[in-house]
A = this chain, B = another copy of it.
Amino acid sequence: MIPLEEIRQISVVSPSKIVMLVIDGLGGLPDAKTGKTELETAHTHHLDHLAKKGICGLIDPVSPGITPGSGPGHLALFGYDPLGFKIGRGVLEALGVGFELKKGDVAARGNFCTVDDEGLITDRRAGRITTDKCTELCTLLSQVKLKDVRLFVSPVKEHRFSFVLRGNELSAELSDTDPQKTGVAPYAAKHTKIIAKHTAGITNEFISKAKGILAKHRPANMILLRGFSKLPDIPSMRETYKLTPAAIASYPMYKGLAKLVGMKIFNADSGINEELNILAHHYSEHDFFYIHVKEADSAGEDGDFKRKVKVIEQVDSALPQLFNLKPEVIIVTGDHSTPATLKGHSWHPVPILLYSRWCRPDNAEEFSESACVSGGLGRIPATDIMPLAMANALKLIKFGA
């Protein structure tokens, strides 16, 4: 990919608009009976129309063969090399619960676990306590006082929680306390760089106090922390592309990822129609919109082929609302594939369509994995999409003389 610094030097402000519609987990695999993927099974009149007028292809979010998490998948779509900008487990967990992470905060993913009388782990997930119980315990742990730092303990789901330390000169260069096995005691947090010695001390003090508080709450009588991390130092989309970007999404993690690159966040809880209403309402205020549709991925993860088809059809039937706005550039793609047959994220390249007045249309007659194989965009890294979107919006000047 072209370095962000080069993009920054050739990007210009213009009134043209880019809309990037991300159908989470869009790519799929064929159903054994029909031989058609979810996208190929869905009736997608409007997407097919757009594919005919536009240009299609396949994108690799990270690299061929690599199954991306939501973090890397989205960073690549926003034009940031997911191998260069890494989002730690702790940061992703905090973003996922909508925690307002600040620069310098140290975040970790937490588990409630069970230890025996000798302090050895007997269950790394504390019998998967209820989310209610988790919430109750997080409230207790939040009351721990530590010198010079604030701490935040937020429930995630069942035994999982998000742990954040805020203070001066904290470092995330710490090893996990989770040994990832039973029969041993949790490890102490150790600094992996000398700069983190202070933070290790604070963390271990917290763990010790937490142990005291939790003693009477068996099976959740201890905690494990892993994935200590800070927000990556990432240039904003405003800085890189001179855009005023906005995100329209419902799930906290995606709003968090969008915020990470400097997007203004609009919350939409009730699906694609509400999202497109918000788009119409705020259309004049921004020149880049990222719209996130989560449900296709959830259906794929559940192995529910039909439900994923239905989600894609719902998106399709809402599209005239988008077309009415006549954005100069429309991109429809996913952050990764989630084939229902695999019940999870996968490495398969993701179908993409790009429409603009200035794209060079290809022979794709519909939006499908198989049509995208021979699409005019070819098979490209996902990080190339933002430069292509910018170019098609006539927002990039010539590179070199």
Contacts and interface: CB of A to CB of B under 8 A. Distances in A.
A29 B358 contact: yes
Contact of A65 (B3, B87, B391, B397): B391
A393 B390 CA distance: 38
Contacts of A378: 58, 373, 378-379
Contacts of A386: 65
A202 interface: no
Interface string A354-386: 000010111100000110011111111000101
B387 A6 contact: no
A401 B30 contact: no
B347 A63 contact: no
A345 B394 CA distance: 12
A396 to B, nearest CB: 6
Nearest to A376: B373
A401 B389 CA distance: 26
A383 B67 CA distance: 16
Nearest to A96: B401
B66 A387 contact: yes
A65 B373 contact: no
Contacts of A396: 65-67, 347
A1 to B, nearest CB: 7
A70 interface: yes
A342 interface: yes
Contacts of A89: 401
A68 B342 CA distance: 37
Contact of A387 (B64, B69, B362): B64
B342 A69 contact: no
Contacts of A348: 360
Nearest to A361: B30
A60 to B, nearest CB: 9
B363 A64 contact: no
Interface in A52-67: 58, 62-67
Interface of A: 1-3, 6, 10, 29-30, 37, 58, 62-72, 82-83, 86-87, 89, 92-93, 227, 342, 345-348, 358, 360-363, 369-370, 373-380, 384, 386-392, 396-401
9 contacts: A1-B63, A2-B65, A70-B401, A87-B400, A89-B401, A93-B401, A342-B358, A363-B373, A379-B380
Given A93-B401, A345-B398, 8 more contacts: A64-B384, A66-B387, A69-B399, A72-B399, A87-B401, A347-B387, A362-B373, A379-B380
